[in-house]
Structure 1
């Protein structure tokens, strides 16, 4: 096991291209505040200039739908097989954790892929397929996830827009070992409820369809397989966002770890802090390569199967970026390391925009505005 969660060759600069008086934090909080444009647009433009062939990697991945069908079928089979097992039995809990949580985490990230229009060419086909992928999760969320997630991309770190950011209230009350352990155990609930506390989305046709389809599915499952079958799916979803190795990606993607956090604090918040971290490890095979997170934020229109190709083509841009080697170690260090906590996120006051509404869904999203993407535009 590595001694640190992050491998980094971060070069420390004594100054930013900004007046020093702008380096102070807002309201006395401990977040890392940035006054520059989010880094992904800048790096994307540089990569396209140096390696224009990466544009050919953009567009839907047909394999995604087959994997989704397989995982949905797997979860239904497990739910039916466990219909007569006691919920608190070793068989039920072990299956929920080992198979169910891994499968539902896979479906979470399939919905993440689909939200970028990367399963089908037609935006509406992606919206409807996301609802299908949502079924074994038990709770309707795919329709709401998409606008919140696209806003996260277009408004990375923007206070009041990026709902991936913990609120100051969370950071204050969970700023301890027990608090962070609680957060890691119940983080799926934080990610589910926090967005609605930051801002609310309008209720659209696709939201209603998501809710109706999920209620119908749950009702039919309970009627023909029993309530324990549904309990298996719900438990799988909870464990998928709890103390599970694959759940480490939630923390690994944007929290600032150890050396980088210490360097930034010691500099008085004058050192530029990386905002996104990739993970290069075997669990990417189960999670649609979500670990290649810098690569994904740089090029959201490149599907999971081609992100490793992007990294190889543009290795001169990615080789020296700080990255993680273990999601399990990420969770462990997040809980126990006093240098790491919910405050360790980069925030900015301005920039970005909010994504949401049926009209936006109809039009789809073009994450590389101004660049023609084969098969997308």
Structure 2
């Protein structure tokens, strides 16, 4: 697979490995290759823990000052208020415009989808308690940020996402992973185009299919607050206003430039061709997380700095670039993306890239907010 397929092809610079890294994930991971060569399971199966814990320990050892970057970012709150206000204003401005019209669609795609993607990632940021020191204040702000999205999800997103961090790549726990059925059924250009177009629905419905969360008071309040907001919006502005917000949410997770981050973060691209022989594959598993260093980080709370985020989830969006600067020797040689649009394009058209291209592990990690608090040992 050629790295010239698109500008999104991951830049492969795998030679750099810090000699200071320690722990079971340091160095090269073992990767399983199906002995019979069948296509029923073509994920990358790794048998070591995820790499971020080891790199975090190495960075702290080399640069203890990075810990001063942790903590809430006050700028998040006014930014959320501004974007929520923008979306309510747009919904009001379009109240008399036909839903099936170019003004509505273009506004929803250019402004609405970008704004709601920003709110998705504000909720992601708030999930890590990075807006306020108070956990309750963070939960309430997440519910407020949820309002222009139209459908309640912030309370459920939190435990699923924190489990993604604690159980990266663990089959049955990390709901960011596609299932084997998804990967098999959508293993074609048309299938991948369908996935990229409707990926917001996959990310919304897949978690509930993998495991269900217990309902809590914050879940109930999230639902009640959202339904009340939707009711007031429809009653006093009109149904087209709510339609605009929901359309914005759909487009934010569809064929939109900012939606490229969903695919870019953890899918394995061109630098690890499946044409490699089994002996070479056993030497090292591909990287599991990829950063993006492009301009769209401005609209998305720097979520593109995804290796940095997984290494230090307690560092807010405004300080991730500082982390990259301080510990640059740990990041400069990691594979990365330079275009989210190119990521989507290559994902759909490149036959060597698809939903199979994820690193999975059978065990490890733990659930957050689902009744499991003890870590599970990784099988060796």
TM-score, scaled to structure 2: 0.90
Contact 1:296/1:307 (<8 A) preserved: yes
Match of 1:197 in 2: 209
Whose helix proportion is higher, 1 or 2? 1
Deviation of the 1:8 alpha carbon:
1.6
Q: State how far apart, in whole Å, the 1-side matches of 2:103 and 2:154 are.
A: 29
* Compared CA separation, residues 16 and 105, structure 1 to 2 (3 A): closer
Deviation of the 1:255 alpha carbon:
0.1
Contact 2:15/2:333 (<8 A) preserved: no
Q: State how far apart, in whole Å, the 2-side matches of 1:244 and 1:300 are.
A: 26
* Compared CA separation, residues 109 and 189, structure 1 to 2 (3 A): same
Match of 1:368 in 2: none
Alignment coverage as a number of residue pairs: 357
Deviation of the 1:153 alpha carbon:
0.1
One of 136, 154, 161 as aligned partner of 1:149:
161
TM alignment of 1:349-368, pairs within 5 A: 349-356=362-369
State the superposition RMSD in angstroms.
2.2
Q: State how far apart, in whole Å, the 1-side matches of 2:370 and 2:286 are.
A: 33
Q: Which stretch of structure 1 is more off in the superposition, 34-43 or 22-31?
A: 22-31
Match of 1:7 in 2: 11
TM alignment of 1:30-41, pairs within 5 A: 30-41=42-53
TM alignment of 1:1-377, pairs within 5 A: 3-11=7-15, 24=34, 28-262=40-274, 267=279, 269-270=281-282, 271-356=284-369
Give the gaps of 5 or more residues in structure 1. Answer: 361-377
Q: State how far apart, in whole Å, the 2-side matches of 1:334 and 1:44 are.
A: 30
1:109-167, Cα deviation, whole Å (9 max, x unpaired):
00000000000000111011100000000000000000000000000000100000000
Contact 1:204/1:358 (<8 A) preserved: no
1:251-306, Cα deviation, whole Å (9 max, x unpaired):
00000001224466665631221000000000000000000000000000000000
Give the gaps of 5 or more residues in structure 2. Answer: 18-26, 374-380
Q: State how far apart, in whole Å, the 1-side matches of 2:125 and 2:204 are.
A: 18
* Compared CA separation, residues 17 and 170, structure 1 to 2 (3 A): closer
* Compared CA separation, residues 178 and 161, structure 1 to 2 (3 A): same
* Compared CA separation, residues 240 and 3, structure 1 to 2 (3 A): closer
Q: State how far apart, in whole Å, the 2-side matches of 1:265 and 1:247 are.
A: 33
Contact 2:170/2:364 (<8 A) preserved: yes
Q: State how far apart, in whole Å, the 2-side matches of 1:44 and 1:318 are.
A: 12
Contact 1:281/1:326 (<8 A) preserved: yes
* Compared CA separation, residues 4 and 149, structure 1 to 2 (3 A): closer
Q: State how far apart, in whole Å, the 2-side matches of 1:269 and 1:86 are.
A: 55
TM-score, scaled to structure 1: 0.91
Deviation of the 1:351 alpha carbon:
0.6
Contact 1:206/1:358 (<8 A) preserved: no
* Compared CA separation, residues 265 and 222, structure 1 to 2 (3 A): farther
Contact 2:197/2:255 (<8 A) preserved: yes
Q: Secondary structure at the match of 1:76?
A: helix
Contact 2:155/2:222 (<8 A) preserved: yes
